Every structure is written in structure tokens, then in C-alpha cells.
Amino acid sequence: METLIAKYQSHGEADTVKAVADFFQVLKKHQTRVILLDGNLGGGKTFFTQSLGKLLGVKSQINSPTFNIMKIYDIPAKSKLPWRSLVHVDAYRLDGFSDLSQIGLDEFLADAKSLLAIEWPKDLPKFLRKMKINFYHVSFKVLSKDERVIDVRENVFEK
């Protein structure tokens, strides 16, 4: 069951950066390593991931993984965070979990040192719930060119 843990009103990139910084504080406190990013094209999913990458200490430029489907970014050990890699996935063109498994997503789901940011998750929430894998579901609603509502929901299962 999803529980709304935060709702942000963004009037531009600066507000979104603040929302990500707030979310990052929650992320660091919990064992949840999967972030699903939902919303229309141009809704802010990749910008959210770019902002998160900066907070994680990622030095590489984070771009949409649309054509590559998955991109992996190193998180420096000096960050003293529990993760060593940010795995950014665009699941839009993938058909079900079997396709995600073919690109190695199941290995990253099992790797405690990987933080996953998955755009266009489609049926992935259903799969993650079935497997009792904790995740955050971040949804973006576009209100205007610069304005967004960003909802962050948490799905936590007892271990």
C-alpha cells in the first residue's frame, strides 16, 4: 500500500532542487533503494534524477537513458553513503519484468550498494509489491510550463 509522505509544489527548477534535497534526507534514513518516477514527457523525471545525482556526489553528466535504456553512475566512496552506484533506467520501451531482467535490473535490485531511479515504471510497482521490495513512487503532475506537483509515496514491507 502506498503512503503519501510528501507533496511538493514546484514553480521551477530551484523548487524541484529543494524538493529533491528534502527527499534525499528521507532516502538516507531508510533502507529503500528503489525510486520509481512517473509522469508525462517533460514532467521532470530526469531533472529529479540529475538533482539527486548531484547530492549523491555523481561527477558524470546524468542524461535521460531513453536510447541506452539503462545508465550506471558511480557514487564516490568518500560520500559515506551506503550506495556505490546510481542506476538510471528508462522502462518506457520495455515490455514487462522479463525485459527488465534481460538488461540486468534484477541484479541491481539484489545489490544493496545500488540505488535505482526508474522512469516510466509501468507495471513495476505490482512486481515490487509481489516481491516485497520497498520503494518510493514519485509522481509528477504538470500544471504549466514551469509548475509541477510532485507527490512522493512510500511502499514499505515488513522484513
- The pLDDT tens digits for 131-143 are 888 999 999 999 9
pLDDT computed for residue 71 by the predictor: 93
The enclosing domain of 82 has a CATH number of 3.40.50.300
Residues with pLDDT less than 70, the chain: 96-98, 158-159
- DSSP letters for 14-58: HHHHHHHHHHHHHHHHSS--EEEEEESTTSSHHHHHHHHHHHHT-
Tell me the percentage of the chain whose pLDDT exceeds 70.
96
pLDDT computed for residue 10 by the predictor: 95
> Do 128 and 100 form a contact (C-beta atoms < 8 A)?
no
Tally of domains within the chain:
1
Domain span at residue 132 reads 3-155
pLDDT computed for residue 29 by the predictor: 85
pLDDT computed for residue 76 by the predictor: 94
pTM: 0.92
